[in-house]
Amino acid sequence: MKTLDNRKIVLVGTGFVGMSFAYSLLSQPGIDELVLIDVAKEKAEGEAMDLSHGLPYAASKMRIYAGDYADCKDASIIVVTAGAAQKPGQTRLELTAINTKIMKGICEQIKESGFGGIMVIASNPVDLMTYVAQKVTGYPRNRVIGSGTLLDTARLRYMVAKYLDVNSTNVHAYIMGEHGDSSFVPWMHAYIGCKSLLELLDEQGRDMADLLQIYQDVRNAAYEIIEKKKATYYGIGLSLNRLVGAILNNENAIMTVSAYQNDEYGRSGLYIGVPAIVNREGIREIVHLPLNEVDQGKFDASCDNLTQIIRETIDPLL
């Protein structure tokens, strides 16, 4: 398998999400450099020191240091987690105006650096912030990727596996749509191993209502975690690690990321969570799953929600 020649990663934002991702990278072999950028320069310096002290026990012997946007020029991947945090009771979409301004400023400096790699966006609301990043930088759309519904999908696989008492690696199911309240599960494309989940439920006499409850639990998970501990960061940190690994190692892995739509599902002009093949070029292609009328309606509603916010809130700020 080919790997990128220059395995240098820049992380913009050293909050809980950014540092959960950075910490998880210590178990990712073969990374040469990790650069931490934050408006709070001293915090970035302290985080770099703390991480570096664990390198003798890490899988990767990378160089870790606090830097600035000039360090982006020769990076392979930039991961952006910076932005205002979601507060208890606040939806991801309510963060839009604040984080659009923050993302615009970050991306202008990244573009000025001469960066030519792949951008991964995790700042919320992630589908909208990925749109902002691509619009501001003008980078190829396949090389600007949002974390999308990667975490939602991980939560779904975990909960379905727990419900059926199977290994989560054998649960093949996806959350699609917005990373937020208008997401949905195309259950007709859910499998346990190579067996249809719906067929398995029917054979075992289980109730479809159980799956609907699992989806509700997935959708509400972030709100519950934020209520209990003020923020959610470990799950997304590991999700970002997985995405970065797929890019660095040219895996051609299918992942539910926020990808630019070009009529694959009947919509265009926005980023939203869909299964896509990810490799060293970014998004190689979007995987098209035939959707039934109900699921297509949910996807369209999710797109309509994002499109309205882009038109009314984001585009005027750009």
Sort strands 118-121 and 282-286 into parallel, antiparallel or unpaired: unpaired
Contacts of 99 (CB under 8 A, 6+ apart): 83, 84, 123, 124, 125, 129
What single DSSP character describes residue 310? I
Of 53, 172, 179, 288, catalytic: 179
Distance CA 261, CA 272 (A): 7
3-state secondary structure 10-50: EEECCCHHHHHHHHHHHHCCCCCEEEEECCCHHHHHHHHHH
189 is catalytic: no
Question: Contact at 8 Å (CB) between 164 and 194?
Answer: no
Which helix (H) or strand (E) is 151 found in, with range? helix 150-164
Catalytic residues: 179
